[in-house]
Amino acid sequence: AQSVTQPDIHITVSEGASLELRCNYSYGATPYLFWYVQSPGQGLQLLLKYFSGDTLVQGIKGFEAEFKRSQSSFNLRKPSVHWSDAAEYFCAVVAYSSASKIIFGSGTRLSIRP
Amino acid sequence: DAGITQSPRHKVTETGTPVTLRCHQTENHRYMYWYRQDPGHGLRLIHYSYGVKDTDKGEVSDGYSVSRSKTEDFLLTLESATSSQTSVYFCAISPDQQETQYFGPGTRLLVL
């Protein structure tokens, strides 16, 4: 069965520092991959997605993610975080099959140190 | 933002009472989903719909039922609410099941 693992429950970084949030998936074929962000009290907003092609994808708010098939990973990165980036981040996968549904990781909460 | 609304946004109810949450979209998307979000679990799919009157179960469907009589509306019903159903419920829509899902603002449900 497909699954998504976000190994870091909570990460704190200093404002202006770089960020990398980890995501690993388990699936036999190439899945569709997503990163969503959720600010407190809000719904989820799509940051970026990977379907095929270039393995480095750019998203909104200066985020990017790299799909690495050999490591079954889709890590999210940002070169310099801002206080407004404090939120919870969810990685998600959709398997390419007629009975598939999106599976979310358990999330990583990002705190920003002033 | 995708046109998705959820109602009510907040609800407090008592154990054993029926509760219906509504999701309304103006995007004419084929797929609609109901999730619950609980600390440490991320989002878990309750039910989804792939068309009018076409629905299927997700991973946590016990105690929940859904209906979709119109493209724009997807209802989630808790037939007899329990305290374990206290959660934040999100509706999502997408044009296709492999496409991006767009989320509503959520409904906070407290079952006492």
Q: Write the CA distances from A77 to A18, A23, A102, B28, B37, integer angstroms.
A: 8, 11, 22, 33, 25
- Distance (Å) from the alpha carbon of B16 to chain A's nearest alpha carbon: 27
Spatial separation of the C-alpha atoms in residues B56 and B68, rounded to whole Å: 11
The β-bridge relationship of strands B10-13 and B107-111 is: parallel
Q: Which structure tokens are listed for A21? A: 């949030």
Residue window 6-25, chain B: list those with CB within 8 Å of chain A: none
pLDDT at A99: 46
User: Quick check: A107 contacting B, CB < 8 Å?
Assistant: yes
Question: Cβ of A104 and B97 within 8 Å?
Answer: no
Q: pLDDT tens digits for A68-113?
A: 999 999 999 999 999 999 999 999 988 655 445 778 899 999 999 9
Has residue B1 got a pLDDT over 60?
no
* Helix boundaries (H) for chain B: none
Span A24-39, pLDDT tens digits: 998 767 788 999 999 9
Q: What are phi and psi of A84, to 5 degrees?
A: -75, -5
Q: In chain B, which residues have their Cβ closer than 8 Å to the Cβ of A106?
A: 40-42
Chain A residue numbers touching B101 (CB-CB < 8 A) = 46, 102
pLDDT in tens, B58-82: 889 999 999 999 999 999 999 999 9
Contact present, A34 and A44 (Cβ < 8 Å): no
What's the pLDDT score for residue A27? Answer: 76
Q: How far apart are CA A91 and CA A107, in angstroms?
A: 7
Which residue in the set A32, A44, A100 is minimally distant from B103, CB to CB? A44
